[in-house]
Structures are given as C-alpha cells and as structure tokens.
C-alpha cells in the first residue's frame, strides 16, 4: 500500500504571498489531519477533515484554511504569508475512526523570506 504523499516537498515564498500544499492519504483512509512543526512551538494541530468536512480545528488564525476532496485528498492554504509561517507542514492519514493511529507523510518544508 502506498504511503502518504505530500507535494511539494520544499517551497520558498515571500511575505504576503499565499501557498497551497497538497496531501494524498493512504488509499481507503477517509480522514486527513494537518500539523505545523517549528523549532519554537513544536508540533501543533491545524485541522482535520473527514468526508470533505472539517471535523476539528486547532488554534490558528483564519489565514490557515483547508479542504478535502471526494477522493480524500486534502489541501491546505496559507494566505498573506508571514515569516513565522516558515515550518514543516505534516499531513496525517487516518483510517476514519477517531482516536486511531495517524500515519504521517514526509512533510512540506515551507520557507518564507
């Protein structure tokens, strides 16, 4: 079974721009979560999508948004980028049952200049 795919793996943007990151979960998994990893704040939960609906949301500003498509693929978008948005963005694939294992992708490294 193929693992979690995240594209692109690396991205460089400038302040004020917006960015879209993509995540394809493991085949058959219906839920996707997103996390931000920074040296200062560690790993923080962004949001979770299940069957195209946001099921849970972390404490991030409205500049961070996401969506999920009918094939379970998910995208997250960050608008009006700030230097502090530089981070590794990790996507996790979840079979569907809440509280179960989460399988992580390799992440997208975003650098904001």
Residues that bind another protein (CB under 8 A): 4, 6, 33, 35, 42-43, 45, 48, 55-56, 58, 90, 92, 98-99, 101-107
Choice between 73 and 104, CB closer to another protein: 104
Choice between 62 and 99, CB closer to another protein: 99
CB under 8 Å, gap of 24 or more: what pairs does 35-38 form?
35/89, 35/90, 35/91, 35/92, 36/60, 36/87, 36/88, 36/89, 36/90, 37/87, 37/88, 37/89, 37/90, 37/107, 38/84, 38/86, 38/87, 38/88
Choice between 16 and 106, CB closer to another protein: 106
Choice between 48 and 85, CB closer to another protein: 48
Min dist CB 6 to another protein, Å, is 8
Min dist CB 16 to another protein, Å, is 28
Distance from C-alpha of 70 to C-alpha of 47, rounded to nearest angstrom: 17
């Amino acid at each position: 079974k193929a693992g979690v795919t995240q594209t692109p793996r690396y991205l460089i943007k400038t302040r004020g721009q917006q960015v879209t990151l993509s995540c394809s979960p493991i085949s058959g998994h219906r839920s996707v979560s997103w996390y931000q990893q920074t040296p200062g704040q560690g790993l923080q939960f962004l949001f979770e999508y299940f069957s195209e609906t946001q099921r849970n949301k972390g404490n991030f500003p409205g500049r961070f948004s996401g969506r999920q498509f009918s094939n379970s693929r998910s995208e997250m978008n960050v608008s009006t980028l700030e230097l502090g948005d530089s981070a590794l963005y990790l996507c996790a694939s979840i079979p569907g049952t809440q509280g179960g294992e989460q399988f992580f992708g390799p992440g997208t490294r975003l650098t904001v200049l």
